[in-house]
Amino acid sequence: ERFPSWFVKVPAAMDTSASCTFTSCLLIGLTQKYPPVKFLSEKDRKRILITGGAGFVGSHLTDKLMMDGHEVTVVDNFFTGRKRNVEHWIGHENFELINHDVVEPLYIEVDQIYHLASPASPPNYMYNPIKTLKTNTIGTLNMLGLAKRVGARLLLASTSEVYGGKGRAPHPVLCEDSNKVNVTVRSVFQEGVEVRVARIFNTFGSRMHMNDGRVVSNFILQALQGEPLTVYGTGSQTRAFQYVSDLVNGLVALMNSNISSPVNLGNPEEHTILEFAQMIKSLVVSRSHIQFLPEAQDDPQRRRPDIRKAKMLLGWEPVVPLEEGLNKTIQYFSKELEHQANNQYIPKPKAARMKKSRPRHN
């Protein structure tokens, strides 16, 4: 998915003789520089800001909104985001990339703000917890301020982590009321601002950082490199994983809806982490073994979204089967590894949140 097929392909109609293939390629390369975008009338075209737009989810959202014909401004401080994720839009008249940290105020004119800026992977958000707090408080306040000043609608990327799950008997299926915070007239901070809140459950796909540290990218990279798949704890804890394109469609549907209360976006298909390890091992056809490491601290034991609200009010539900999403992600990471190998560098997946004790093997 790094270099989309349209970039190098010569349409059959143009490829009239073998002798002009090279010229045609060159021509197409020069003229058809970007993925195709729709043309929207002034009335339908929106100016959209995506904070964290060069990150894993943000860059896929950028692709969708650009292709839909909107004007997209990506703001990223490149802590976990990368220019490479959006490089195929650089120079396009509808696209702008700003190197900016949301902890500082931002003054631009926009109609919608997707506020995704925050590290999402545990090793990343625990790397500098105070900075993560600042990003999620001051950064959000700055974006709410911007939304209020320009009359934009803001979608906040919240997380399933708000439901907790360790230390109390967790309800296996988490609905939006599981941890209810009332929004009333006393919630002055969002006074006069149209807000949408997405509770995002575990998501995976291409453009996850090689050092992300979350389970799917770790297992895939380990399986591809013949290294042990690191299962934290017994592997009986569960998660339900959605493919990134499903999430992106949900985010856009939520933004354009009239629901101002939180909405879960996730795939309800729940598996144990050990099952994920076995599934990935067999899809990669890897000889890696499974290595049991100490349990991660405060690790939620069960997590599965209740998505009835999204289904009923947005008409949204995930459509990408787990295996299909995993295969696409495996393909992505194996290309990344090839690329890295050419530069003689293969990063190792990061370990996260370990309690200290000796690893077990099976």
Whether the CB-CB separation of 193 and 155 falls below 8 Å is answered with: no
The 8 Å CB, 24+ separation contacts for 315-322 are: 315/253, 316/249, 316/250, 316/253, 316/254, 316/265, 318/242, 318/243, 318/246, 318/250, 318/266, 318/267, 319/246, 320/242, 320/243, 320/245, 320/246, 322/241, 322/243, 322/267, 322/269, 322/271, 322/279
**Least gap, CB of 229 to ligand UGA (angstroms):** 8
Using the minimum distance from each CB to ligand UGA, give the nearer residue, 53 or 205.
205
Contacts for 209 with CB less than 8 Å, ≥ 6 apart: 56, 80, 82, 121, 217
Residues 285-344 that bind ligand UGA (CB under 6 A): 296, 299
Helical pair 215-224 and 322-342, crossing angle rounded to 10 deg: 60
Among 239, 281, 302, 309, binds ligand UGA (CB under 6 A): 239
Using the minimum distance from each CB to ligand UGA, give the nearer residue, 237 or 264.
237
Q: Kindly state whether residue 270 participates in binding ligand UGA, applying the rule CB under 6 A.
A: no
Name the DSSP letter for residue 354.
Answer: B
**Least gap, CB of 166 to ligand UGA (angstroms):** 10
- What tokens were used for 278? 């076995």
Using the minimum distance from each CB to ligand UGA, give the nearer residue, 15 or 299.
299
Q: Kindly state whether residue 227 participates in binding ligand UGA, applying the rule CB under 6 A.
A: no
Q: Which stretch binds ligand UGA (CB under 6 A): 40-48, 108-116, 185-193, 227-235?
A: 227-235
Using the minimum distance from each CB to ligand UGA, give the nearer residue, 89 or 241.
241
Q: Kindly state whether residue 161 participates in binding ligand UGA, applying the rule CB under 6 A.
A: yes
Q: Which stretch binds ligand UGA (CB under 6 A): 1-9, 21-29, 213-221, 318-326?
A: 213-221
- What tokens were used for 353? 């949140």
Q: Kindly state whether residue 153 participates in binding ligand UGA, applying the rule CB under 6 A.
A: no
Interacting residue ranges for ligand UGA, rule: CB under 6 A: 120, 122, 159-161, 200, 202-203, 214-215, 218, 230-232, 237, 239, 273, 296, 299, 352
